[in-house]
Every structure is written in C-alpha cells, then in structure tokens.
Structure 1
Amino acid sequence: MAVYGIDLGTTYSCIASIDDVGRPTVLRNLEGTDTTPSVVYFESGDNVIVGAQAKDTAVLYPDNVVSLIKRDMGRDVPRAIHGFEYNPEELSAFILLKLATDAQTVTGEVARDVVITVPAYFGAAERDATRKAGRIAGLNVIDIISEPIAAAVTYGVLNPERDRTILVYDLGGGTFDTTVIALRGGHIEVICTDGDHELGGADWDSRLVEHLAERFTTEHPDAGDPLDDKQTEQQLRRDAEEAKKALTSRTQHVVRVMHGGRVASVEITRDTLEEITKDLLDRTIEITGRTLAIAREKGVEDYDDLVLVGGSTKMPAVAARLQTELGLTPRLQDPDLAVAKGAALYAFEETFRRLLMEGAQDQAEEMANRAGLSAEQQKQIAARKIKTVASRAFGIVVLNRDSQAEEVVHLVLANDELPASRSEDFFTVHDEQTSADVRVMEQAGAVPSAEPSDNNEIATGSVRVPSGKRAGWPISVTFTLDSSGLLHVTAVEKETGERLDLQVDVGGMSEDDVETSRRNLSRVQVS
C-alpha cells in the first residue's frame, strides 16, 4: 500500500513517499526537479498547465496565470478565467493533481492516499479548504498536518539518538511559522506555535520588485512606471526571485530592467536586500519571541536545536539574526524537502497503525516488509504518539447584558492541546425568543480578542427555542477541535433535544459543492 506526503506550498510544492529501505524520498516531477512551482496557467477553459511552464508563461499571459493561491485558502475569492470561475480549493486541486499524476508516472502506482501539510498557523477554515482541495483532486486525504510537525517527524527519524527540545523556524515562500516541539522517547509533542500566513519569501520578492521599479524610474523618468504593465511586472517578479536566490551565495547581482523601449542595469547587493526587507525579518523575530514567551509559561526554557525549514531560510541574514537573538546555532534541515518527507513518514506510520488497529496484520506486515522495516522499527512506529495544539482561538458571539454590545467568548484557546473539547451553557436574551443564532468565530489577530472585528466568522446557524420561554433559557454549545485542527460545533436546546450541528464549510462550499467541483474539473486536462 503506497502512501504519499505532499507539501502544498505557496510558491513551490513537492510530493514524497517511502522507498524500499524505509527512507522518505521526494519524487521528481516530469520536468526532472524535486519541487514544482505552485503556479496554474489556463491555456484554455479545458486545458491547464501547472508548474515551471506555467510560471514562465506568466510573463506573456499574466491574466491567465494564478500564483500564491495558498494565501486565499479559507476565503471566498473566486478567480474568473476563460469564462469560468474557480475558487481557491479548485485551483489548489490542480496543483495537487499535477503532483499526484507525475508521481504515478514515476512510480507506476496510483498516488491516491496522501497526507497534506499546512502552515501551523492555518486555522480551521484553511485546513478544511485544504482537505477539500485534495478531495476535488480525487485524493484520499488521510490527514492534514502542520508543516513544523512534518519537519519534526523528519528530524526525529534522522536524529533519534536522544530526547531533544527544538525550535522550528519555518519561513516558506508565502507563510511563516515558529513552533516549539519536544521529542521524547520517540514521541513528538508540540508545545506551542505562532505565525503569519501572509509573510514569506514572496514578500522579499515584492520588496525587490519595488526597488527595481524605483531604480528604473529614477534612471528613465519619462518611460513610465514598469509596474503599470502586467507583463513587465511579472518579468520583474521572476528577476527578483532569481536575484534573491543568487544573493544567498553571492554579495551582488545585476538585473536588467526593460520597459517602454528603455533598459536600466540595476546592481543589487546583499546589504541592499537586507536593508529593504529588514522589517520583514523583524516580524519573524517578533513572532518567534512571542512563541518563546508562551513556551516559558509552559515550563520550557532551554533548547537543544534551532531547526530552519523553508526555502527562504537559506538567506544568510536569517541564520545570522537568529543566532544573534537566540544564541543558538541554526541548522538547515533539508529546508526545501523536509516537510514533504516528514508528511510521507507520517502518512506511512498512520496507515501502518490503522491497519494494526483494524486487525489487518498481514497488510501491515506487507507494508513494513516492502519498506524494509525491522521488527524493532515496526514496534516504534506502532507506539509513536504525536501531540499538537490549536493554532488559534475559537468561540461564539454573545450579547453582553451590561453593555448590550456583542463580544466573542472563546471556548478553545490558542495553544490548547489537541484534540480539544469544551461545552458551555449560553442563554437567550429575550422573552418569547424562538431561535438562538450560533455564530462561530476564529481568532484573526496575533492574540485572542473579545472584539468581533478582531475575529473571522467561519460558520453560522441557529437552534430553535420552545415557545413561551422567558429570557435566560439555556442553550448548550460544544466545540470539538480534532488533532488535525478541524472544527465541529454543536448547539443543543435541552428540553426538546433540538440540535444544531455545524461543520465549517469554507466559502459556502458544502460536501455537494465538493462533488460538483470534482465532476466539473474532470473535464479539464492538467499537465
């Protein structure tokens, strides 16, 4: 039974599996590279290209190319292309389908059973959207796990010699997370996590794009702003990314900016890049500091390792700044591929354990033998536990009787251990009230807040109240957040047993919508 781990990244994605000696291995795409650009090009309404060719085409047909779609996961922001509207789940499904199809071509086996990773700071809505994207792509999503957990799985397997407490600093193409993880006796426990899912290497690229455009305009003030032309802007984004990568190993790089028949050769130094992006790096340090403070409250003071994950951690300024701030020597742990490898290990272990629990001993042994696992390794896998925490706070809107203002009461708090479940009684406000609205809110800012404007509404519904009841009639509300970070909410009126069950359906995308999208996308050729 082949299972796969997928790192569905903002700028690059990859897929991995376990080889015949039990090692996690990234499967190269048909273009021969380990990672695939998370870019989708609509050549026509029924022909879609994903990856490097799509990225190259963005310069010529920017209106038909979609990138950075991961930042829209969990939001209702459809894109209209060639007369069709595509939501973020569907666009992500194209990327997943490309990865799975290429993996099948390479291995000769259908890539169907997968674990998909998400940033640790993704909330319930984004995680739900990611799961649905996998289902639209025709995949069986075993689980959704956080990227730092996947990196920790890889790290723990590769460095099993002793217990360790590690800080994972994960700066990817479009998201940033920092997570404290304890490795104890083969088990993995997330202590706390924090992050920003709109902060990543793409923001460094944007600063470079602005710098290049400004330098061009200074040299050719009569040629207009290069950023007013979509094709020139896309070319600048490619040039900026290449310059950023070049400056990881060199101290200077030259970019030729062409616009309106004019050319400007702009020299960029590493010092310049670090100067114009200092505030971005400062934000990651600030978030890391918050994480360390929460860890201290939980009794964690010392760290054995600082593990860097994500391609953007290759920038020299990152390691230098972290070493200065934290006094730890950062370790680059296979930054581009560690997450996919860890997801593959996790997928393998979860499937192996499930087979044992279901009594399918023969299938479990076949799976272990195929991966070349010893009896001791099988025993370790069967016993391994992974504990994680909530990335954000979740609650409902209530009316404050004193101020008559709406406020949010959180039932699950950020960094509560998962799975988490909490019930609380709330009460009607008016006499003869016939129903009670249940508005589910998710923390939007860096810290929990009772202000509704500091939270996102992610689900809503109502439960009926028996007639003739006076104000103060109780409604019991239960929040259950599973180990994947997916939320389920119930509200029960106790006299009649009237019950409301709320699943968090992102952007109004119901289970029927998922099936409709899956059928509709089957008409599209993806390559």
Structure 2
Amino acid sequence: MADQKAPMTCGIDLGTTNSAIAFIDEHGKAQVIQNTDNERITPSVVLFEEKEVIVGKIAKNSAVAAPDRVVQFVKRHIGEEGWVKTYFGTEYTPETISALILKRIVQDAEKVSGGKVGSVVITVPAYFNEVERKATQDAGTIAGLNVVSILNEPTAAALAYGLDRLGEKKRVLVYDLGGGTFDVTIIEIDGTKIDVLATDGERRLGGIDWDDEIINMVSEKFQAEHGIDPRNDLEACQDLRNKAEDAKISLSKLDKVRILCQCQGKTTKIELTRDEFEKITKGLLDQTETYLGVVLQKAKLAWKDIGTVLLVGGMTRMPAVQGMIQRVTGLKPETGINPDECVAMGAAYYNAVLALQAKPSEEPELALQGDALKESIDEEVMILLQGVEVTNVNSHSLGIVGIHKKTGKLVAYKMIPKNTPIPADITKPFGTEKENQVSVQIKIVEGEGETPEDCTEIGMCEIKDLPKGHPAGSIIDVTYSYSVDGRLQVTGKDRISGKEARVEIVRASGMDDKEIKEAKKDVVEMEVG
C-alpha cells in the first residue's frame, strides 16, 4: 500500500464521534487506511484501564459496562479551560485524550499499511476559534506527530471533491453536519484556485443533539410508566445513548424502529417512526437551515449562483437533511463523495500540496516529503497539485479593546472582520487615552460582540517605556497579521518615538509548552490498544 522508504503524506479527520486517516498513494490519489478492526473509520471513544488505554470500537462497546471510565465527544471540549478527567491517579485534558485517539489512528495506519506516517494535516470545523485550533494542533504534537497545518473541514471536503474538476469554474456549498459540530461554507473553484467565500456555523450542534432528543423522548415515556428517569442512572443512560444512536442511523433507511429501554430491573419497549423522529428534531434541522441563508448573504450570492452542494458528515444521510437541502437550494446534493471519508482524503491532498510547494530553506522536513512524492506519483498529478491555491477566510472577527470617544465605555473594535480572506494584514491608528502615557496595552479579542464582555480575550501586547510629554491622542499604529494557518501576530508602534511591541498570540487558556512536552512523554510511553 505504501512506499517502505518514504514516509506517507497523510491527512486526519479528528471527529467528534468518529475519526479517519488517509494517505496519498503512488498514483497521487488519496486513500483511506483501514484500522486493525478492518473498518475505515474509528470511533473517537477512549476507555481507561489501570495499565492501558483502549481507543475505538472496543471502548465504545464498553461504555455501558464502564461509563465512568469512558470518554466520548471530547472534541466538544477541546481548548476548554478547566476541563479535566482523572483516571487511576492521572489527569487528562481534552488535548491529551485527543492525542490518544490520534495515536491509535496512526498506530493502526502504520501497522496495516506497512509504511510510516510522515507529516500530517489535521482538520477542524470551519467555525473553530483560535483557542480550539491551537488545542487541536497541541493534540497532534502530544501524539508525536509533525502537524504542518490545521485545515477547515469544508475546505478539505471541497478539495476531495474538486481535485478532478479543477479545470471547471463553479461555486460549491458545503453542508457539514457531523457528530458534534455544524458548518456551512461556500467555496469557489476556478482553475487551480480554491477560494472560501463565506462560512458560519455552530461548534455545538451535531448528531449528539439528535440522539439527545430520542433519549429525552424515551426517558419521559419510561418515567411515566415506571416512575424512574433512566437519565439519572449512569449505565442505563449510556445504554440508551447507544440505542438512540442506532435508532437514528436505522431511521435513515427504515420507516420505524423499536427501542428497548432498561433501568433498575424495569423495561419499556417504544416504537419510533421516522415521522416522529423528524418531528422531535425539527428545531435542530431548522437551526442548520437558517445558516444556509446567512452564508449565502455573506457571500453576496443567490441560489442560482451555486452549482453544487456537498454533504459532509454521517448525519447528512438522514432523508430530512437531504430533503431540506434540495428544497432550499433547488439542487440535488452531490453523491460522488463519501461523507464519512472525504474530509480525511481532502486533508491528505492538502498535505501533498504543501509538501510539493515547500521550500527546502524554510521547511526542510516538509520539502523532503515533497521530493519523495515527486519520485512516486504520476507527473500529471504532481503538476496539478503543485498549482493548487487554497484561500480561506477567518471564521471569527479579531479585534482590539478601545474606549469610545463619546461614551467613554470600553468597546471591541473589529480589526479583521469575520469572513475576511486570509492571509490578511490590517493596520489601523488608535490614540492614547491620556497625556504623558508611558505604556500602552493592546488587548486582543475574538468574537462578534460590540463589548469586550461579549468577546473572548485571546492575548495582550504592551508597548513600554514611551517618552514622557506625549499628548493624549498620540497615535499608536496597530497591525494585525493573520496567517494562512490561522496564527495571529499583533504589532503596536508609537508614531512619535518609533517604539514598538510585537506578540504572536498564544492562547491564554489550556496547556503551555512545558505541559505539552510532559504530556507528549506520557502519551508516547502509554500502551494504546
């Protein structure tokens, strides 16, 4: 399957409920690598035993018997300050648990393929913020991986779909409804250019929420019959969650299913029809529909301007989703890509693009991987990949805290508005608050709110030792530089003295370099099955 001599160029879809890895084969095509269970996707579930950690199918199947030692849906907590789980005396952050999932995926890929995983591109929801993106990269580092880029999932899906269609010009709407997150993105493919025009979504809206509606409906009926709420029993609730997920999946093909709920020796059988399921989850589907119009408006387009609709994520197999998409857009969704696998495949393609375009003087390790690709893949494919250009947009506004001239209240000024094409460099002048000000603090925020309280502070830049005697209102030029991999550098420069300060934003919460290094050592030494 893989060249024994050269490391594989890989892409990883680190999902809320399932994860996958793909590599670029000798023909320049992205291929998903099966795990050691002979399955193409691996459940993102972790079971903690005293002497080992188990990831995947066995962990998921153990959730009922040992719910207190199983972690699911950790992606919803990535980058979340203070979220820690303790097992057998060891603390695990979302980044560490995600690293264990990555380790299992890579471990299996190397065992099955006989090759060695080289650099990787890991995908994230388009609506992830800076904290969540950096936390995902940290997870890769802790797992011992060389993460060369963090790529938006809809962009990866568009790459997987569009690589064979790069000669065409079309606008593609990507509707990405996964296990825990939701994004909708409009992308333009023109020649070898792939440009993201607009994106929006919710980081906590996905298949889990559809499962919860089934769980609530069944639990209420069980409680009415037996006076017991199975949601308050850890084992019964986990068993019901598994059955709710199975029922949801089955209802994409069947008209009705039966759910057996058991708790404290009591049993209830409940029939759920597809119509009933669609009725109790209509509010969730309506939420996603709202974003279709929002993104279309942000891209300044009409539905007649959209040529293709891509569905990403296992949840898009639901007939209600496909019907809603067709009703709103007037287009039948593209069926030529696998919604569970296209993100990992697109990430592998993007890794190949980066490797083939890498300069040895700037990225020697990645350039070596590019040289290996040049020797192994077809020349026609190599030339195609070398010419690919991907332009993304930022999913959240980046701003600065200032004082409103008229009200004197603190406000969040937008420096780089949401959906600005990146890379972006924007400079704006700001005045000092008072005379004889010898230092200036630049507070950097992320979000759409008009006040600092409604945004997230992600860093600070301070100019010190300014000369005395400056009048109030002296100009400080503030520059925000946002790179293609989603990293932000902020520079503040005093016009009079020329003094400046520069900072690359490192998230205020989560793990620092020392903690990452220690966690990496622990994960590398840990037995993961």
TM-score by length of 1: 0.93
Which of 362, 367, 376 is the matching residue for 2:380? 376
AA of the residue aligned to 2:464:
R
Counterpart position of 1:80 = 85
Residue 50 (str. 1) matches residue 55 (str. 2)? yes
Question: What is the aligned partner in structure 1 of residue 119 from structure 2?
Answer: 113
Q: Quick one: structure 1 residues 230 and 476, their matched pair in 2 at CA, closer, same or farther if it must change by over 3 Å?
A: same
- Residue pair 2:54, 2:528 contacting (<8 A) in 1 also: yes
Letter in 2 for 1:18: I
Query: What CA deviation, in whole Å up to 9, does each residue of 1:121-174 have, x standing for no partner?
Result: 112221111111111111001111111111111111244562221111111111
CA contact (8 A) 2:16 2:180 kept: yes
Q: How far does the alpha carbon of each residue in 1:177-232 deviate from its partner, in whole angstroms, 9 at most, with x for none? A: 111111111321111111111111111011111111112112222xx210111111
2:185 is equivalent to residue 179 of structure 1: yes
2:70 to 57, 65, 70: 65
Report SS of the residue matched to 1:325: helix
Distance in 2 between the 1:389 and 1:170 partners? 17
Distance in 2 between residues matched to 1:381 and 1:247, nearest whole Å = 40
Verify the 8 A CA contact 1:119 1:177 in the aligned structure 2.
yes
Q: Which of 268, 288, 295 is the aligned partner of 2:272?
A: 268
Aligned 1:383-394 pairs, distance under 5 A: 383-394=387-398
Residue number in structure 1 paired with 2:454: 454
Q: Secondary structure at the match of 1:507?
A: coil
The within-5 A match list for 1:98-247 is 98-160=104-166, 162-221=168-227, 224-247=228-251
TM, length-normalised to structure 2? 0.93
Is the 2:100–2:143 Cα contact (8 Å) retained in structure 1?
Answer: yes
3-state DSSP class of the match of 1:193? strand
Q: Kindly tell me: are residues 51 and 204 of structure 1, through their superposed partners in 2, closer, same or farther at Cα, counting changes over 3 Å? A: same
CA shift in 2, pair 1:403/1:169, >3 Å: same
Aligned: 1:93 with 2:99:
yes
Q: 3-state DSSP class of the match of 1:210?
A: helix
Answer yes or no: is the 8 Å Cα contact 1:42–1:81 preserved in 2: no
Are 2:16 and 1:10 equivalent residues in the alignment?
yes
Closer/same/farther in 2, CA of residues 508 and 316 from structure 1, 3 Å limit: closer
Change (3 A) 1:511 1:210: same
Checking the alignment, whether the CA contact within 8 Å between 1:123 and 1:485 is kept in structure 2 is no
Matched, 1:312 2:318: no
Which residue number in structure 2 is paired with residue 526 of structure 1?
528
Bigger CA drift: 490-499 or 314-323?
Answer: 490-499
Distance 2:422 2:363 in 1: 26
1:363: Cα distance to partner? 6.9
Q: Distance in 1 between matches of 2:523 and 2:371?
A: 37
Determine whether 1:328 maps to 2:331: yes
Which of 123-132 and 195-204 deviates more?
A: 123-132
- Which of the numbers 15, 32, 37 marks the counterpart of 1:26? 32
SS of the counterpart of 1:522? helix
Residues of 1 paired with 2:473 and 2:136: CA distance? 39
Q: CA deviation at 1:265?
A: 0.3
Aligned to 2:404: 400
Q: Is the 8 A contact 1:40 1:51 kept in 2?
A: yes
Tell me which amino acid in the other structure corresponds to 2:310.
V
The answer on whether the counterparts of 2:167 and 2:190 sit within 8 Å (CA) in structure 1 is no
Tell me how large the CA RMSD over aligned residues is. Answer: 2.2
1:410-431 superposed Cα distances (whole Å, 9 cap, x missing partner): 1101111110111223232234
Paired amino acid for 1:267: E
- The residue that corresponds to 2:506 in the other structure is 504
Separation in structure 1 between the aligned mates of residue 405 and residue 311 of structure 2, nearest angstrom: 48
Q: 8 Å contact 1:129–1:506 — kept in the other structure? A: no
The percentage of aligned residue pairs carrying the same residue is 37
1:426 corresponds, among 411, 430, 435, to 430
**Cα offset, 1:381, TM superposition:** 1.7
SS in structure 1 opposite 2:253? Answer: coil
Q: How many equivalent pairs are there?
A: 517
Which residue is 1:515 aligned to? 517
Question: Match for 1:256 among 260, 263, 267?
Answer: 260
Residue in 2 aligned with 1:38?
44
1:481 is the counterpart of 2:487: no
Amino acid at match of 2:519: S
Q: Structure 1 pair 147/506, CA: closer, same or farther in 2 (3 Å)?
A: farther
Q: 1:256 to 1:364 in 2, by over 3 A?
A: closer
- More displaced stretch, 259-268 vs 479-488: 479-488
Q: Give the match's secondary structure for 1:526.
A: coil
Gap runs ≥5 in structure 1: none
Q: Which amino acid aligns with 1:459?
A: G
Say which is worse superposed, 2-11 or 56-65, in terms of deviation.
56-65
Would the alpha carbon gap of residues 358 and 88 (structure 1) be closer, same or farther in structure 2, given more than 3 Å must change? closer
Q: Is the 8 A contact 1:356 1:364 kept in 2?
A: no
Q: CA deviation at 1:96?
A: 1.0
Given that 1:421 and 1:481 are in contact with CA atoms closer than 8 Å, whether structure 2 keeps it comes out as: yes
